[in-house]
Amino acid sequence: MDEIRIRRIESMMKDELSLLINRELKDPRIPSISVTKVELTRDAKQATVFISLLTMNASQGDPELMDSCLDGLNAAKGYLKKNIGRIMALRFLPEFIFKEDKGLENTLRVHELLKQLTEEKRVSDSAAEQKEKTQIE
Protein backbone atom coordinates (compact mmCIF):
# COMPACT_ATOMS: atom_id res chain seq x y z
CA MET A 1 0.00 0.00 0.00
CA ASP A 2 1.43 3.41 -0.86
CA GLU A 3 2.33 5.92 1.83
CA ILE A 4 -0.32 8.51 0.95
CA ARG A 5 -3.13 5.94 1.14
CA ILE A 6 -1.83 4.64 4.49
CA ARG A 7 -1.79 8.18 5.94
CA ARG A 8 -5.35 8.83 4.72
CA ILE A 9 -6.60 5.57 6.25
CA GLU A 10 -4.79 6.35 9.53
CA SER A 11 -6.38 9.78 9.70
CA MET A 12 -9.88 8.55 8.95
CA MET A 13 -9.52 5.61 11.33
CA LYS A 14 -8.34 7.96 14.09
CA ASP A 15 -11.42 10.17 13.67
CA GLU A 16 -13.88 7.28 13.44
CA LEU A 17 -12.40 5.36 16.39
CA SER A 18 -12.51 8.49 18.52
CA LEU A 19 -16.20 8.97 17.75
CA LEU A 20 -17.06 5.31 18.29
CA ILE A 21 -15.19 5.04 21.58
CA ASN A 22 -16.49 8.26 23.10
CA ARG A 23 -20.09 8.04 21.84
CA GLU A 24 -20.92 4.36 21.45
CA LEU A 25 -18.99 2.42 24.09
CA LYS A 26 -20.73 2.26 27.45
CA ASP A 27 -18.00 0.38 29.34
CA PRO A 28 -17.43 2.04 32.74
CA ARG A 29 -13.71 1.21 32.48
CA ILE A 30 -13.38 3.60 29.54
CA PRO A 31 -13.51 7.29 30.52
CA SER A 32 -13.41 10.11 27.97
CA ILE A 33 -10.34 9.57 25.84
CA SER A 34 -8.57 11.14 22.93
CA VAL A 35 -7.29 9.00 20.08
CA THR A 36 -4.07 10.86 19.42
CA LYS A 37 -2.63 8.78 16.60
CA VAL A 38 -3.15 5.62 14.58
CA GLU A 39 -0.18 3.85 12.98
CA LEU A 40 -1.04 1.31 10.31
CA THR A 41 1.51 -1.29 9.22
CA ARG A 42 2.41 -1.30 5.52
CA ASP A 43 0.45 -4.50 4.96
CA ALA A 44 -2.51 -2.95 6.85
CA LYS A 45 -2.86 -5.99 9.11
CA GLN A 46 -2.27 -4.10 12.37
CA ALA A 47 -3.23 -0.65 13.56
CA THR A 48 -1.61 0.69 16.71
CA VAL A 49 -4.04 3.13 18.32
CA PHE A 50 -2.49 5.64 20.72
CA ILE A 51 -4.81 7.10 23.35
CA SER A 52 -4.66 9.63 26.15
CA LEU A 53 -7.17 10.08 28.95
CA LEU A 54 -9.18 13.28 29.25
CA THR A 55 -9.91 13.02 32.97
CA MET A 56 -8.54 14.79 36.03
CA ASN A 57 -6.84 11.60 37.26
CA ALA A 58 -4.96 11.33 33.97
CA SER A 59 -3.08 14.53 34.66
CA GLN A 60 -1.84 12.95 37.87
CA GLY A 61 -0.59 9.93 35.93
CA ASP A 62 -2.97 7.28 37.29
CA PRO A 63 -1.60 4.02 35.82
CA GLU A 64 -4.50 1.94 37.19
CA LEU A 65 -7.02 4.09 35.31
CA MET A 66 -5.03 3.72 32.08
CA ASP A 67 -4.70 -0.06 32.55
CA SER A 68 -8.43 -0.34 33.17
CA CYS A 69 -9.15 1.76 30.08
CA LEU A 70 -6.84 -0.39 27.92
CA ASP A 71 -8.57 -3.54 29.25
CA GLY A 72 -11.95 -2.08 28.30
CA LEU A 73 -10.74 -1.13 24.82
CA ASN A 74 -9.24 -4.58 24.28
CA ALA A 75 -12.57 -6.13 25.31
CA ALA A 76 -14.34 -3.93 22.73
CA LYS A 77 -11.98 -4.71 19.82
CA GLY A 78 -14.53 -6.85 18.00
CA TYR A 79 -17.26 -4.22 18.26
CA LEU A 80 -14.89 -1.48 17.09
CA LYS A 81 -13.57 -3.57 14.20
CA LYS A 82 -17.11 -4.43 13.04
CA ASN A 83 -18.19 -0.78 13.10
CA ILE A 84 -15.03 0.47 11.40
CA GLY A 85 -15.73 -2.15 8.70
CA ARG A 86 -19.18 -0.65 8.14
CA ILE A 87 -17.85 2.90 7.95
CA MET A 88 -14.65 2.44 5.95
CA ALA A 89 -14.44 0.60 2.64
CA LEU A 90 -11.36 -1.54 3.28
CA ARG A 91 -10.65 -4.96 1.84
CA PHE A 92 -9.11 -6.14 5.12
CA LEU A 93 -9.66 -4.74 8.58
CA PRO A 94 -6.59 -4.44 10.78
CA GLU A 95 -6.24 -5.83 14.28
CA PHE A 96 -6.23 -3.00 16.80
CA ILE A 97 -3.45 -2.66 19.35
CA PHE A 98 -4.23 -0.02 21.97
CA LYS A 99 -1.36 1.84 23.65
CA GLU A 100 -1.01 4.80 25.95
CA ASP A 101 0.29 7.94 24.27
CA LYS A 102 2.93 9.32 26.59
CA GLY A 103 3.52 12.42 24.47
CA LEU A 104 1.59 14.80 26.72
CA GLU A 105 3.18 13.32 29.83
CA ASN A 106 6.64 13.77 28.30
CA THR A 107 5.82 17.34 27.25
CA LEU A 108 4.73 18.23 30.78
CA ARG A 109 7.92 16.68 32.18
CA VAL A 110 10.12 18.71 29.81
CA HIS A 111 8.17 21.85 30.72
CA GLU A 112 8.76 21.23 34.44
CA LEU A 113 12.48 20.61 33.86
CA LEU A 114 12.81 23.83 31.85
CA LYS A 115 10.97 25.74 34.57
CA GLN A 116 13.32 24.28 37.19
CA LEU A 117 16.40 25.20 35.14
CA THR A 118 15.12 28.75 34.65
CA GLU A 119 14.59 29.11 38.40
CA GLU A 120 18.07 27.73 39.16
CA LYS A 121 19.62 30.16 36.65
CA ARG A 122 17.72 33.07 38.19
CA VAL A 123 18.95 32.12 41.67
CA SER A 124 22.56 31.71 40.51
CA ASP A 125 22.44 35.03 38.61
CA SER A 126 21.07 36.73 41.72
CA ALA A 127 23.84 35.21 43.85
CA ALA A 128 26.48 36.35 41.33
CA GLU A 129 25.07 39.90 41.42
CA GLN A 130 25.23 39.94 45.22
CA LYS A 131 28.83 38.70 45.16
CA GLU A 132 29.74 41.36 42.59
CA LYS A 133 28.15 44.12 44.69
CA THR A 134 30.03 43.06 47.83
CA GLN A 135 33.33 43.03 45.93
CA ILE A 136 32.71 46.56 44.60
CA GLU A 137 32.03 47.95 48.07
Dump pLDDT digits (tens) for 51-65. Answer: 998 875 544 567 889
Residues 71/31, Cβ–Cβ less than 8 Å: no
pTM of the model: 0.74
| Residue ranges per structural domain of the chain | 3-101, 103-137
For the domain 3-101, what is the CATH code? 3.30.300.20
Q: Could you give the percent of the chain with pLDDT greater than 90?
A: 58
Residue 126 CA to residue 20 CA, distance in Å, equals 55
**Using CA of residue 123, residue 125, residue 130, residue 135, what is the dihedral sign?**
positive
The pLDDT tens digits for 84-128 are 999 998 888 999 999 998 876 677 778 788 888 888 888 887 777
Alpha-helical segments (H) within the chain: 3-19, 56-59, 63-75, 77-87, 103-136
